[in-house]
Amino acid sequence: MPESRQWVPLTPIASAGRRLYNEDVHEMAITQSVIEAVAERSGGRPVTRVTLVIGTLSGVVADSVRFCFDLATSGTALEGATLEIVEVRGRARCRDCGDEVELPDFLALCTCGSADLEILAGEELTVASAEVAA
């Protein structure tokens, strides 16, 4: 074994204190990211409404974000804010027949039977806007 390979002591790099809240599901981390993004732009003023756009193919469950939102905003400028989620349904264009079809999941086929689909919508995960109190 080469001598230069040393043991680096165990370091609790990302444990206590890094996050304000637990991240039991990734929706909590997502919600945290939303709060950070909004707080950066609101300048510390109370935020009364946040609008998110979440696609049904994004891997993020809107209901879970709603569940996390009240918990995660507690004690922040976003506390008490209304959360509005615009859900975008999956949509794709068939590369074979050219039709546009709904895409409820990644395995759905075009009505012509083709699996060669270009996803047009449904993967969105964006913070659209925030309403800030005057």
Partner 1 sequence: MCATCGCSDSGVVVIDGEAATHEHLHDHPHPHDHPHDHTTHDHDHDHGEVVTLEQQVLARNDLGAARNRGWFEGRGILALNLMSSPGAGKTTLLVRTITDLLTDEDGRGVAVVEGDQETAFDAERVRATGADVVQVNTGSGCHLDAEMLARALQVLDPAVGSLVMIENVGNLVCPALFDLGEAARVVIMSVTEGDDKPLKYPHMFRRADLLVLNKLDLLPHVEFDVDRCTADARRLNPDLEVVAVSATRGDGLDDWYDWLDVRGGRRRPQPVPG
Indicate the residue among 10 and 113 with the shorter CB distance to partner 1: 10
Rounded to a whole number of angstroms, the minimum distance from the CB of residue 23 to partner 1 is 4
Rounded to a whole number of angstroms, the minimum distance from the CB of residue 130 to partner 1 is 5
* Options 80, 89, 95, 106; binder of partner 1; rule CB under 8 A: 106
130 binds partner 1 (CB under 8 A): yes
Stretch binding partner 1 (CB under 8 A), from 68-76, 92-100, 115-123:
115-123
Paired with 86 in beta bridges are 53
Measured CA to CA in angstroms, residue 131 lies from 70, 120, 128 at distances of: 16, 29, 10
Q: Using CA atoms, how far apart are residues 54 and 66, in angstroms rounded to an integer?
A: 12
Task: Tell me the H-state helices in 25-119.
Answer: 26-42, 62-73
Rounded to a whole number of angstroms, the minimum distance from the CB of residue 110 to partner 1 is 14
Which of 133, 52, 54, 110 has its CA nearest to residue 87? 54
Residues with Cβ within 8 Å of 134's Cβ and at least 6 positions away in sequence, in order, are: none
Indicate the residue among 66 and 127 with the shorter CB distance to partner 1: 127
Tokens 């012509």 locate to 112
34 binds partner 1 (CB under 8 A): yes
Report the DSSP pairing between strands 100-102 and 117-121.
Answer: unpaired
> Given the rule CB under 8 A, which residues bind partner 1?
1-2, 5-8, 10-16, 19, 22-26, 29-30, 33-34, 36-38, 41-42, 48-49, 51-53, 59-60, 88, 105-107, 115, 120-121, 123-134
